[in-house]
Amino acid sequence: MNQNSRVTRREFIQRGAQTAAAMGAVSAISAPAPAQVAGANERLRIGFIGPGGRGLSGHVGPLCRLRKDGSPIELVAVTDVYVNNANRAFDLVKQETGIEPKRYADYRELLADRDIDAVCIGTPDHWHAKQTIDALQAGKHVYCEKPMTHTIEEAFDVVKAWKDSGKVMQVGVQSTALPVWAKVNELLCNGEIGKVLMFQTEFFRNSNVGQWRYYPLEKDMTPKTINWKAWLGVEEGLAPEMPFDRAIYAQWRRFWPFGSGMYTDLFVHRTTSMLKATGLRFPSRVVGAGGIFLEYDGRDVPDVATVVADYDEGVQGLITATMSCADTPIQQLIRGHFGSFVFGNGEEFEGFDMVAERPQVTLNSKIKNKRVDVSKVQDTTYDHQKNFVDCCIAGTPGKVNCSPELGAAAIVTVNLGVRSYREGKVFHFDKATNTVSDGNAEWAKQWEKISQERGKPHHIAGWKAGDTGSTLVAPDYQRLEGPWIDGKDPA
């Protein structure tokens, strides 16, 4: 990649986010044909857009297994700009189902196929919004790999298109298939750990080659086997034209025009789970920090990063990681005034620990450490796809594990972290208008005002516990508190 192309990308990403979002929203397929709805005796027909690495392992593979296990589905079409990816997906479907899926050179041709009911999108991040909106407007159900979109503006375009369509949409954050989050939310709302104050989460990794460079570059990756212009999305305004580069194609998560490194590849996973567990959605104030401190391999994205998100509910989220230290991560947990729910690391949780605060704080000797066990999920990706298929067949968009609204909330959190890191600013988000503004003193002032007025704490949605774990006991000597007016002791 030459220096000129680097400058072009950097200039593009600074000015192109809103343009890309706008074009993604308006350049839908003309006169789309609505998909047929799978009835009780029919089968859901699914096509694959971009069945490369994750698309093959997380979409095609699990759906082949679901079909074998009795789900009423057919895997009927594939399209990918890289012919080898298309071949691999075609061969796997044929091998596992005995049926040869149709092959399309362009995803828009696949969407125009009236015999397709649903699509799975596994393309790079910068294509997610455009292809999702096109699919919804073509009357298809959509499973879109995380992150749901590349930008905040695109996220709300997708939410609107989803609501307008009436179709099922699942965002591919497979950890949301875990039943643990519903149990956590129930206990939090019942005041189990008192006033909820903070969540922290992580995704630490390490590599001797650099993150995302472990995706191999293949000799067969050439302009003859990859439709490079289509992959970039030049005509759609999704990326600038640039010379073909195997590293950009295969390791695109390292470069801002196409992905956002750990923020959208990893932080989205953990953030979405924490939002589902707490019932939080959009943050009101976000700051991001980090840098490229080790992996000087031509990448754009940092190898150490932290996002701090503050919520109107009086909760803070801490999302942090390094891409160069894997064995000393922080623990994932949710903190409250009376205790914390501690999950540990990873995402295959069968339960969690309640770590109680000392009785001198809780004033309740019955609040003790305990283990909360939850049913195990053998394969979250399989279960997540099954949830999508079941919702498509039943026509229940509201029962997906990870809805577009939850997907948008995670995008706002991590993408404002990206913007803060890159622009050196604190950002506020107004969830009433879905708009972003530069940070100011108002955030701190509102909490100071509540304190000065002796107000009550804010709570997460669904809170049922009244003042449990949300009040303080003033010591007797606080009666001496107060200003001396005209020399008179307030006591």
Query: Helices 404-423 and 268-278, interaxial angle, to 10°?
Result: 130
Q: How confident is the model at residue 9 (pLDDT cuts 50, 70, 90)?
A: very low
pLDDT number for residue 32: 39
Looking at residue 449, its amino acid is: K
Q: How confident is the model at residue 6 (pLDDT cuts 50, 70, 90)?
A: very low
pLDDT number for residue 477: 96
Q: Are 29 and 108 in contact (CB under 8 A)?
A: yes
β-sheet bridge partners, residue 44: 73
pLDDT number for residue 41: 52
Q: Are 66 and 385 in contact (CB under 8 A)?
A: yes
Tell me the DSSP string of 411-456. HHHHHHHHHHHHHT--EEEETTTTEEEE--THHHHHHHHHHHTT--
- Listed in sequence order, the residues at least 6 apart from 100 whose beta carbon sits closer than 8 Å to its beta carbon are 90, 93, 94
Domain spans in the chain, listed from the N-terminal domain onward: 3-177+381-403, 179-215+251-377+404-491
pLDDT number for residue 299: 97
pLDDT number for residue 346: 87
- Residue 198: how many CB atoms within 10 A of its CB? 17
Q: What does the pLDDT average to over 376-387?
A: 96
- For residue range 48-62, what is the model confidence (pLDDT) as tens digits? 999 999 999 999 999
Please work out, in degrees rounded to the nearest 5, the angle formed at the alpha carbon of residue 166 by the alpha carbons of 163 and 169: 75
The verdict on whether omega for the bond into residue 147 sits within 30 degrees of 0, i.e. cis, is: yes
pLDDT number for residue 394: 96
Distance in angstroms (rounded) separating the CA atoms of residues 4 and 16: 18
Q: Are 156 and 387 in contact (CB under 8 A)?
A: no
Residue 99, token pair as written in the block? 């049926």
3-state class percentages of the chain: helix first, strand second, coil last, to nearest 5: 40, 20, 45
Domains 3-177+381-403 and 179-215+251-377+404-491 are alike in CATH topology: no
Please work out, in degrees rounded to the nearest 5, the angle formed at the alpha carbon of residue 395 by the alpha carbons of 376 and 387: 15
The CATH number that domain 3-177+381-403 falls under is 3.40.50.720
Residue 302, token pair as written in the block? 């940092």
Q: What does the pLDDT average to over 301-306?
A: 98
Question: Comparing C-alpha atoms, which of 37, 13, 25, 16 is closest to residue 394?
Answer: 37
pLDDT number for residue 94: 98
Average pLDDT, whole number, for the chain? 92
- For residue range 434-461, what is the model confidence (pLDDT) as tens digits? 999 999 999 999 999 999 999 999 999 9
Question: Comparing C-alpha atoms, which of 333, 373, 376 is closest to residue 355?
Answer: 333
Q: What does the pLDDT average to over 300-315?
A: 98
Which 8-state DSSP code applies to residue 34? P
- Residue 259: how many CB atoms within 10 A of its CB? 22
Residue carrying structure tokens 């604190």: 426
Distance in angstroms (rounded) separating the CA atoms of residues 195 and 156: 31
Question: Comparing C-alpha atoms, which of 182, 214, 220, 242 is closest to residue 2?
Answer: 242
What φ, ψ does residue 333 adopt, rounded to 5°? -165, 170
Which class would CATH give 179-215+251-377+404-491? Answer: alpha beta
Q: Residue 22 above 80 pLDDT?
A: no
Please compute, for residue 300, the number of CA atoms within 13 A of its CA located in the half-sphere on the CB side: 25
Q: Residue 64 above 80 pLDDT?
A: yes
Distance in angstroms (rounded) separating the CA atoms of residues 63 and 70: 11
Q: What does the pLDDT average to over 255-265?
A: 97
pLDDT number for residue 30: 38
Q: What pTM did the predictor assign? A: 0.90
Residue 45, token pair as written in the block? 């027909």
DSSP, collapsed to helix, strand or coil, labels residue 89 as helix
Of 270 and 24, which is predicted with more confidence? 270
- Residue 380: how many CB atoms within 10 A of its CB? 17
Q: Residue 376 above 50 pLDDT?
A: yes
pLDDT number for residue 19: 35
Q: Are 59 and 143 in contact (CB under 8 A)?
A: yes
Q: Residue 14 above 80 pLDDT?
A: no
- For residue range 145-171, what is the model confidence (pLDDT) as tens digits? 999 999 999 999 999 999 999 999 999
Q: How confident is the model at residue 347 (pLDDT cuts 50, 70, 90)?
A: confident
Lowest mean pLDDT among 3-7, 276-280, 320-324: 3-7
Distance in angstroms (rounded) separating the CA atoms of residues 173 and 272: 7
- Listed in sequence order, the residues at least 6 apart from 390 whose beta carbon sits closer than 8 Å to its beta carbon are 396, 399
Q: Are 169 and 118 in contact (CB under 8 A)?
A: no
pLDDT number for residue 42: 82
